Structure 1
Amino acid sequence: MSGLKLFHTKGAVAEVTSRLAEVEAEVQALVEGNLEAMLGVRFLASEYSTGPVHGGRIDTLGIDENGAPVIIEFKRATDAGVVNQGLFYLSWLVDHRAEFGHLVRGRLGAAVADQVLWSAPRLICVAGNFTRYDVHAIREHRRSIDLVRYRFFGEDHFGLETVASVAAQTAPPGVRRASEAGVPSARVDKGAMQELFAEVDQALLGLGGDITTVQRKTYRAYQRLRNFACVCPPQRDKLLVYLKVNPEEVDLVPGFTRDVTGLGHHGTGDLEVQLRTDRDLERAQDLFRLSYTAV
């Protein structure tokens, strides 16, 4: 975003200048008020005290669409301590699972609290900018961490840009780097649907270098901060993929695509894509890209 220029094009073309927030709370209030739309995270608490012994206060606590606990730390500009501060709180969170579960149960209900994905707690740092040392540091930790840069544009626009994103490397099933996702392949199982599963996995990961995966019992999520695709385990004769695409904006094809808005299903997304052959996968490529660019 540091190199992004935004222009107003009605009438005379004019650049919309970017700016940082006057105070950190300005960014925090905006993001917290739109947490699901911006980061795919459900809000739990703001300025959450970690108690007198620990002596800290977490900017924002939430839970993402895959059930992973999320800590969000905000900084107005560049702050050399943001990653270490976030990791300090993340360690506290892992040691206080019961307290977090009680908070989730009170806010979102017992069903959500019972499905918390403790193998993949996340730290999201939102700041005006990051240093190369921040980017290096998160790659040295075995945690899921996202560095997100923000900018205000004029009075009405706000931008978020992922600077770096790494995923946890411990205790499967959980979040892993995409290249370590452990996808069933033809070398493991010669079944046609397993082979197709591996091809879909490679197609989704090939959309960009900023993709991480989250493995749940009933689906595998592909995300860039938010999920853009969820693939269910292979069925006997098909694979089901759910995408963050508005079904009203595509031509639905019976037996290939289906609007599942408001219908219960595993994973996230309102467009269901049914894959049975490599030809179906070819037809789905544009939909994959559409969902990837939409989140």
Structure 2
Amino acid sequence: MADIKLFNISGEVKEYQSGTVTLEKELQTVIEANMEAFFGVTFLASEYRTTDGGRMDSIGIDENHCPVIFEYKRSMKENVINQGLFYLNWLLDHKDSFKVLVIEKLGLKAADNIDWTMPRVICIAGDFTKYDESAIKQMNRNISLIRYKKFDNDLLMFEHTNENVATAIPENTTISNKPKATDKTFAEQMASADKEIKTLYEDLSNYILSLGDDISETHLKLYVAFKKIRNIVTVVALKKKLIINLPIDVTTVTFEEGFSRDVTNIGHWGCGAVEVHLKNRADFEKAKVLIDRAYNEN
């Protein structure tokens, strides 16, 4: 990791001394207690046992209803990536076990919403080798490498080092916030959208990705999520418009009828209570201010 220096500039300038926490347990405990704040993931279990005698360090479910496995790298020699992939493959073969866990922790409704198209592994370490970063590019699985650094006693930094986004895994059943036989996958949505909407989506995608090299575009079953460590924009396509959702404080937004609305208490796909409708280029240009906010505030 490049040497990152952190200073307190209130009064006399003071450099915070960096270090590590005692991997694995101290860092694991902090992350499990604050998984939602750090990564947008709801914590489900620690040291989750598999039927072959293994133990996943931490397991949760993210804001897109996809399973997430956390593995913590204790030493530079440990192959935490292969370990995480092994557990991910086990999980894909034991979906019922994960569903039971979700039912126990979050209830039947949350279990019915599980999306198996984009399960992922998050590997966390003080550092990764160049071989680690190269290896994940060769794998058709969703893997994130995240470095951490601790400053003094109360500052913890995460650096999203690298991410591999794989092709979505096909599902045989429709899973959504409100399952219906008529629900279209995002691919089907785009196939039936007008040509102008397809072009608008390409412009939207290019704009969001241009905001920073820390953004990835993930095609889920029913929508597309643009995310850093957590979602910043989600997109649903209709024939005549795109619907985007943004995780912005609704009390800071002036809503405009026909263009934007507060969906805090309204069922919707995607993540974020600020919903914006893009019917044309003018709507897109107007929405850029909110998209920029979503990027900078999340």
Q: Report the TM-score when normalising by structure 1.
A: 0.87
Following the alignment from structure 1 to structure 2, what is the Cα–Cα distance between the partners of residues 126 and 223?
A: 18
Q: Which amino acid aligns with 1:294?
A: E
Structure 2 vs 1, CA of residues 48 and 147 (structure 1 numbering), >3 Å: closer, same or farther?
same
Structure 2 vs 1, CA of residues 185 and 260 (structure 1 numbering), >3 Å: closer, same or farther?
closer
Aligned residues: 284
Structure 2: gaps (5+ residues): 172-185
Please say if residues 42 and 60 of structure 2, whose CA atoms lie closer than 8 Å, have aligned partners that are also in contact.
Answer: yes
Answering whether residue 30 of structure 2 is matched by residue 27 of structure 1, we say no
Q: Which amino acid aligns with 1:142?
A: N
Q: Which amino acid aligns with 1:249?
A: T
Give 3-state SS (helix, strand or coil) of 1:66's partner.
coil
Q: Which amino acid aligns with 2:207?
A: A
Give 3-state SS (helix, strand or coil) of 2:208's partner.
helix
Q: Which amino acid aligns with 1:205?
A: L
What pairs up with 1:170-181 in 2 under 5 angstroms? Answer: 171-172=169-170
Give 3-state SS (helix, strand or coil) of 2:136's partner.
helix
Residue 253 of structure 1: CA displacement?
4.0
Answering whether residue 286 of structure 2 is matched by residue 283 of structure 1, we say yes
Structure 2 vs 1, CA of residues 150 and 79 (structure 1 numbering), >3 Å: closer, same or farther?
farther
Structure 1: gaps (5+ residues): 174-180
Residue 165 of structure 1: CA displacement?
0.4
Q: Which moved more, 1:6-15 or 1:140-149?
A: 6-15
Following the alignment from structure 1 to structure 2, what is the Cα–Cα distance between the partners of residues 31 and 127?
A: 12
Q: State which of 171, 193, 203 in structure 1 corresponds to 2:197.
A: 193
Structure 2 vs 1, CA of residues 25 and 147 (structure 1 numbering), >3 Å: closer, same or farther?
same
Structure 2 vs 1, CA of residues 7 and 256 (structure 1 numbering), >3 Å: closer, same or farther?
farther
**CA RMSD across the alignment:** 2.5
Residue 79 of structure 1: CA displacement?
4.3
User: 2:224 maps to which residue?
Assistant: 220
Residue 73 of structure 1: CA displacement?
0.5
Please say if residues 7 and 15 of structure 1, whose CA atoms lie closer than 8 Å, have aligned partners that are also in contact.
Answer: yes
User: 1:210 maps to which residue?
Assistant: 214
Deviations 1:38-68 (A, max 9, x none): 11111111011113xx221110011111111
Identity %: 41
Structure 2 vs 1, CA of residues 182 and 203 (structure 1 numbering), >3 Å: closer, same or farther?
farther
Residue 92 of structure 1: CA displacement?
1.4
Please say if residues 150 and 161 of structure 1, whose CA atoms lie closer than 8 Å, have aligned partners that are also in contact.
Answer: yes
Please say if residues 142 and 170 of structure 1, whose CA atoms lie closer than 8 Å, have aligned partners that are also in contact.
Answer: no
Please say if residues 63 and 271 of structure 2, whose CA atoms lie closer than 8 Å, have aligned partners that are also in contact.
Answer: yes
Q: Which amino acid aligns with 1:272?
A: E
Q: Which amino acid aligns with 2:251?
A: E
What pairs up with 1:159-178 in 2 under 5 angstroms? Answer: 159-169=157-167, 171-172=169-170
User: 2:140 maps to which residue?
Assistant: 142
Following the alignment from structure 2 to structure 1, what is the Cα–Cα distance between the partners of residues 91 and 245?
A: 31
